[in-house]
Structure 1
Amino acid sequence: MLKKFVDPLPFMETIHPTCLMQNTPFYEVTMQETFQKLHRDLPQTKIWGYNGNYPGPTFHVQRHQPVHVLWKNELPEHHFLPIDTTVHGAEKSNPEVRTVVHLHGGVTPDTSDGYPEAWFTRDFQQVGPHFTNKLYTYPNHQPATNLWYHDHAMGITRLNIYAGLAGMYVIHDKEEAHLNLPSEPYDIPLIIQDRSFREDGSLFYPSEPDQPATAPHPSVVPEFFGDTILVNGKVWPYFNVEPRRYRFRILNGSNSRFYQFSLSNSTPFIQIGTDQGLLEMPIRVPSLVLAPAERADVIIDFSNCYGQSIVMQNEFVTQGEKPDPETTGSVMQFRVSKPLSCPDLSSIPTHLSVIPKLSNYQRTRTLRLNMREDSYGRNIHLLDDRLWSDPVTEAPKLGQTEIWNIVNVTEATHPIHLHLVRFQILDRQPFDRDIFDKEGRLVATGDRVLPELNERGWKDTVRARSGEVTRIIVPFGPYPGLFVWHCHILEHEDYEMMRPYVVIQ
């Protein structure tokens, strides 16, 4: 077992534009294979990183200032993780190593969205059937928020992200700047992921599920849960802090693992934002649940904690088991050991932002989350019982608002992510699964429950729980085109739990 809290927390470097292209900042980012020290006692680990770093560099951009990014693939021709060639998009006829970058949560034209079939290989030698252009443009017209960028190549997203292809993308604006929140160097992104390692330091990713025996080899697995937790690319790091307020922009970047974060000394998190920006007001939460791809913007006040060592814990029950405090039940350690370098003049305002409550809509869709077996006897998770290759069935009109009733008949909670848009959660309600399965009718078995206070902001990923209807209200725009919606458990997304949708004019 690796020893906890022996490595300091790394800070992702900020990427800067290389030049201006017609008065627009131009960035160049290269995907490279390299070796990186992920724990004091591990040999160096082979990773794939943006500009050779895992996680990739952090973008800090201003609202209404568009940027151009040239994403370049200089990775090897062969993958170092196990590829299941029975998965759609990863067939033997396609190159092993393909990449395409998605800015998760970005309000972006479809030509720069990172469509899963818009992949490209090393030096653009081969491109996918939906490849559009080499240069991506991000308009950045949305309010201040914490986004992230990651690989989205069809059929191998789970492997490419696991190899290291992920990074943060932060949008700033004047309204947020006037709030006097903790700022650099007390404003820190945290990318939290789980991994497993072999003794030689290499990343371990399973090549086959436990069942069934008829599955191909290698085979996609139902989910992946690592036995160590990394923050910003280090296993169980520590962070020396001052007795003051800090802002942490937290991302769950894991393949499948959900987290319920808490602090060992019972200090609460003061949550100020969710996936798509600030909440209306700060919410004090004793613990914080994040599904894969969800983000939380929080303040932790260490003012009265001098001399303490505080562990950020994970208490989320996974597959019926509580996490082991010695392994996946621990995330990182805060050591309140540094003297105060200057007075803490930051504040936590009572009001953060205005979030208009959406109520007018033009259409309601009922969409099922379900499962069925494939030809090998493996379970496939599906959206509305359809495969990726089935014809498009969701075609909202540009500028219109829809309510999506997400009906989960599976045994798992699925984090559902829609590209392009941001939305609000209306409520969740239990239903009679047997009647729905037999007759297709929704019969409620309990009251509608409003989202938690810290979910009542703008979202782009929602936890759709088992046996519940999760209702979201979604304004579609501002761009027409071809996008996708999917579960963000990467093993589900890669194996059919993703569907294209079209915004039509």
Structure 2
Amino acid sequence: MENPSADIPDSPLFKRRTLLRGGAVAGLASLVSAHSVFAAPHDAGPGGPEPSAEKLILTKFQDPLRIPRVLRPIERGGHDELTVRLRTAEVRVHSQMPAVRMWTYEGSYPGPTIETVRGRRLRIAWENELTGTIPVTAVDFGAPGGPSPDPLSNYPGTAGCQEVAGVAGLQPWAAVHLHGMLTGGGNDGWMENLIAPGDVQLSAYPNDQSATALWYHDHTHHVSRFSVYAGLAGLFVCRDEEEQALGLPRGRHEVPLILSDRNFDLDASGALTGRLVHKVEMVGTKLMRTHAAPYTLVNGVIWPYLDVDPRGYRLRIANTANSRIYRLMLLADGRPVPGALKIIGTDQGLLEAPLPLEGALNLSPGERADVLVDFSAFRGQALKLVNTMEGVVPGASSARNDLLEPDVMQFRVADRKPARFTPPTVLSSTFERMSHHDMPHDTAPRWVVLVGPGTANVPELWEMEEVTDAEAAGLTFPAAGIVQVKDADGMLTTLRRTAMDYDDGRAFTVAHDSVEIWKYLNLAASPHPMHIHLAHFQVLARDNYDVTGFDRTVRGTARPVAYLKAAALEPHEQGEKDVIRVGTAGEIRLGPNGTPGELVTVAVRFPAIGRGVHHCHMLEHEQHMVRPLVVSPADHLHAGHHAGTPH
């Protein structure tokens, strides 16, 4: 299955003799244009290189943003086909350091952007041609007394660290997951169905969902935090008629921003070697802090710059970092630009209308945002995209919060006549917020409780079931695995843990094409981005709860977790989603209950059938905060049962 000639920057988006054949792609003639292709930077602008934070060695804004090349499938009758090779490669991430050995898709990091048309069924052969052992050195460090005010993970090198056992010799097994694609369990990249070098994962994707940006990455069970860190990630873009008719910025004015963070080793002279280092802090009795690395990469380039015209741009932003939450702001002359970014789409497609973003754009790992920005008011200026935190001046560093170098990238706006851009007032006529009529009214919600570290010193994901009032009356509190919740109306719900570990026997079993309410309750200090395979959802509410009644030793509530107040949904949380952050992002609050408890309620649709998982998308948590999920045809769930027979 050969690939089309996608390396040529000005090649058409779709080279297909029968592009307009059949209703699935009728009316898409306007897509056959060079203007749809992500284009490379051009024309020098203002701004320039700057020194980075002390000890980080590299110069910021030294290298131009690299635009991943585009792969497009070729037609094979009633479906499209594509071959993507997993290859070991030497990748340049900064001009002042050696190339980095990485595991990649098609020899680049990130992998090529796969572009498709909605309604064209897609088959991808993921061919494993990886060689050698994993090109990552995994280390940890720690000292008694709690987290360091300036952890070693802020800096390159492995001094003061110990090697993590069992990582150096990892062989190149792989399992590719096309994150956000609504496909059956057999094609979802099940994390235990691994392919060895020389083998092929054959996946069929319906590719019949709204125009959006998905992403593909390795999903190998137990080691995805290392395999994705090694470079196995790339963007996937689906187009459709509705999106094309909007006249949104395209060509070189549509720019993917694929965010990640990395760390590297040093040689004896203190120079960067280009060897990837996965470094984490262990706190107290060997509790792992979430991973954070000092070098921010955009499209595989450390702190790049992009020359832009004084006009509107479309930014396709994806957070592909292991665990870092990016809280993004645009700065001009060192000050935030309110309303500079307008959200037009979320994980799973366009919103009904653009939504202004007055504060920061919070993207947790796995989340994507479709963003418009108008540079016409900044002719001849340089702007910065920065990562921020509450309580820290935007653009300032905070070593204790893993924000030693807050800059992400620089935009250099050309000094030429501006071209005014007016966003469409209506984006998607097919998107609708779910209403009371769309909700299930005869089934109890699913409850998932996120809990801080237990005896194994790892955070936990608890699946729960509601307990009857009679059963609750016989309980003594606190009791292990029992959580009581008092909602805004004062109603008390008692929950009992039914499963926690991946291998626990029970699994959520869901009827195909059903809608369910899932309630995520976070009792931990850390936020968690929760991802559901085989599904997409809308966020109904985000509420703050008092969680001080949870006894962390007994692992149950001594008094009910109680409603405090409603919290606002952010603009990028108001569309169709497949990842949602549960817990407050970007706030600095100390103490055992530093982060307020949150209850996030989502309405989930299940259009795909098979066995999948739901899990935290912080990859350092994925190994232990993951549970199986089964979506079955509704009639299969009840076949063969007689009236009155329990099932």
For residue 363 of structure 1, the aligned residue among 444, 453, 474 is 444
In structure 2, the partner of 1:109 is: 184
Please tell me whether residue 391 in structure 1 is matched to residue 505 in structure 2: yes
Please tell me whether residue 490 in structure 1 is matched to residue 613 in structure 2: no
**Map 1:339-488 → 2, pairs under 5 A:** 339=416, 344=419, 347-353=422-428, 354-359=431-436, 360-361=439-440, 362-374=443-455, 378-384=457-463, 386-435=500-549, 437=551, 438-439=556-557, 443-465=561-583, 466-476=596-606, 478-488=607-617
Please tell me whether residue 179 in structure 1 is matched to residue 246 in structure 2: yes
In structure 2, the partner of 1:87 is: none
Matched positions, count: 478
Runs of 4+ in 1 over 6 A off after TM superposition: none
1:443, 1:134 → 2: CA distance? 45
CA positional deviation for 1:289: 1.1
For residue 282 of structure 1, the aligned residue among 348, 351, 354 is 354
**CA deviations over 1:222-277 (Å, ceiling 9, x no partner):** 42111011100000000011111010000111111111111112431011111111
Gaps of at least 5 residues in structure 1 are 85-89, 125-132
CA positional deviation for 1:137: 1.0
1:487, 1:413 → 2: CA distance? 10
Please tell me whether residue 3 in structure 1 is matched to residue 59 in structure 2: yes
**CA deviations over 1:336-367 (Å, ceiling 9, x no partner):** 12646xx8586411111232424321431121
In structure 1, the partner of 2:153 is: none
Opposite residue 138 of structure 1, the aligned amino acid is Y
CA positional deviation for 1:109: 1.1
TM-score, with structure 1 as normaliser: 0.88
2:323, 2:613 → 1: CA distance? 19
Opposite residue 309 of structure 2, the aligned amino acid is E
Q: % of aligned pairs identical?
A: 36
CA positional deviation for 1:66: 1.2
In structure 2, the partner of 1:334 is: 411
Q: Using a 3 Å threshold, how does the CA distance of structure 1 residues 136 and 323 change in structure 2: closer, same or farther? A: farther
CA positional deviation for 1:209: 4.1
CA positional deviation for 1:435: 4.0
Opposite residue 240 of structure 2, the aligned amino acid is D
Opposite residue 81 of structure 1, the aligned amino acid is V
Opposite residue 445 of structure 1, the aligned amino acid is Y
**CA deviations over 1:348-407 (Å, ceiling 9, x no partner):** 1111123242432143112111134455xx334334361111113311111221111111
Larger Rg: 2
Do 2:69 and 2:113's aligned partners in 1 also have CA atoms closer than 8 Å?
Answer: yes
2:543, 2:564 → 1: CA distance? 6
1:204, 1:107 → 2: CA distance? 34
2:344, 2:214 → 1: CA distance? 15
Q: Using a 3 Å threshold, how does the CA distance of structure 1 residues 13 and 363 change in structure 2: closer, same or farther? A: same
Do 2:326 and 2:364's aligned partners in 1 also have CA atoms closer than 8 Å?
Answer: yes
53-62 vs 421-430, which deviates more? Answer: 421-430
60-69 vs 74-83, which deviates more? Answer: 74-83
CA positional deviation for 1:167: 0.5
1:63, 1:120 → 2: CA distance? 28
1:420, 1:62 → 2: CA distance? 20
In structure 1, the partner of 2:115 is: 60
CA positional deviation for 1:7: 0.1
Please tell me whether residue 245 in structure 1 is matched to residue 363 in structure 2: no
Q: Using a 3 Å threshold, how does the CA distance of structure 1 residues 22 and 374 change in structure 2: closer, same or farther? A: farther
2:250, 2:420 → 1: CA distance? 10
Please tell me whether residue 262 in structure 1 is matched to residue 376 in structure 2: no
1:114, 1:328 → 2: CA distance? 35
Do 2:137 and 2:276's aligned partners in 1 also have CA atoms closer than 8 Å?
Answer: no
- SS state at 1:272 partner: strand
- SS state at 2:565 partner: coil
Do 1:83 and 1:156's aligned partners in 2 also have CA atoms closer than 8 Å?
Answer: no
Opposite residue 452 of structure 2, the aligned amino acid is M
Q: Using a 3 Å threshold, how does the CA distance of structure 1 residues 386 and 175 change in structure 2: closer, same or farther? A: same
Do 1:182 and 1:346's aligned partners in 2 also have CA atoms closer than 8 Å?
Answer: no
Do 1:258 and 1:318's aligned partners in 2 also have CA atoms closer than 8 Å?
Answer: no
TM-score, with structure 2 as normaliser: 0.70
Q: Using a 3 Å threshold, how does the CA distance of structure 1 residues 304 and 75 change in structure 2: closer, same or farther? A: same
In structure 2, the partner of 1:14 is: 70
**Map 1:117-196 → 2, pairs under 5 A:** 117-124=192-199, 134-196=201-263
CA positional deviation for 1:22: 3.8
388-397 vs 288-297, which deviates more? Answer: 388-397
360-369 vs 325-334, which deviates more? Answer: 325-334
1:184, 1:146 → 2: CA distance? 16
Opposite residue 467 of structure 1, the aligned amino acid is G
In structure 1, the partner of 2:133 is: 78
1:355, 1:246 → 2: CA distance? 25
1:425, 1:156 → 2: CA distance? 30
**CA deviations over 1:45-82 (Å, ceiling 9, x no partner):** 11111011100000111111111100011112522325
In structure 2, the partner of 1:311 is: 384
